[in-house]
Each structure stands twice: as C-alpha cells, then as structure tokens.
Amino acid sequence: METDCLFCKIVAGEIPATVVRETETTLAFRDIAPKAPVHVLVIPKEHFVDVVTMAQADPELTGAVMETAATVAEQEGLGIDGFRLIFNTGPWGGQEVFHAHAHVLGGAPLGPMLAR
C-alpha cells in the first residue's frame, strides 16, 4: 500500500466507497464524479502506478482486473447496448489517480472518444 494513494486508502477501508464487486485481488466501486449513468472504477488491490506497470509486473492480475470489469458491465446491464472500458495512463492520457484503474462507462450513448 502506498500511504498517500487515494485508491490504496479505499482498499484499506480508510476512505468509504460504494463497492459493486470485490474479489481477492480486485475492487470495483462507483466513481464519485460519474461521467455516464454507470461509471465504475475497477482497481487491483495491489498498488501499481498505471496499467502498463501492472501488465508488465503481473499479467495474471491484469487479466483479473479485466475479468472484474467484464463482470461489472454485465451486472450493471451494459452488455446489450455496449459500454466503454478506459485505462487512462500518465498525465497526457488523463490519469488523475496514479494507481492502475479501469473506468467502466455506459448506460447511455457515450459519443466520440475525444471531444474536438
């Protein structure tokens, strides 16, 4: 656990979150500033700064994050109309919390990938 990491504090139970799914290695919870009707964050419980670092260090855990994201999308009813799965990586990629995490977004048409 990184002592200053927001998501590590959520995993430790120091900061509350609305959990929608938890496994031995992953945690999925609702985003506090949702960008779509469904906006769930899926994180590894172990701290990795971003998805690239996680994928290189632990491919199995990376697969577990993807599996949890797919399960969350299904349980949130996003399978029929579709959803977006996003990993923002680094400052230019829009990453704001430097703990690897996937955004599961859906529940309405999401529009183009990038606003122009």
| Annotation says 101 is catalytic | yes
Catalytic residue among 39, 47, 99, 101: 101
Distance CA 25, CA 4 (A): 20
Amino acid at 7: F
**If you ran DSSP here, which 8-state letter would residue 55 be given?**
H
Burial-class residue 5 by CB neighbours within 10 Å (0-12, 13-18, 19+): middle
Residues 6+ apart with CB under 8 A from 31: 39, 40, 41, 103
Residues carrying an active site annotation = 101
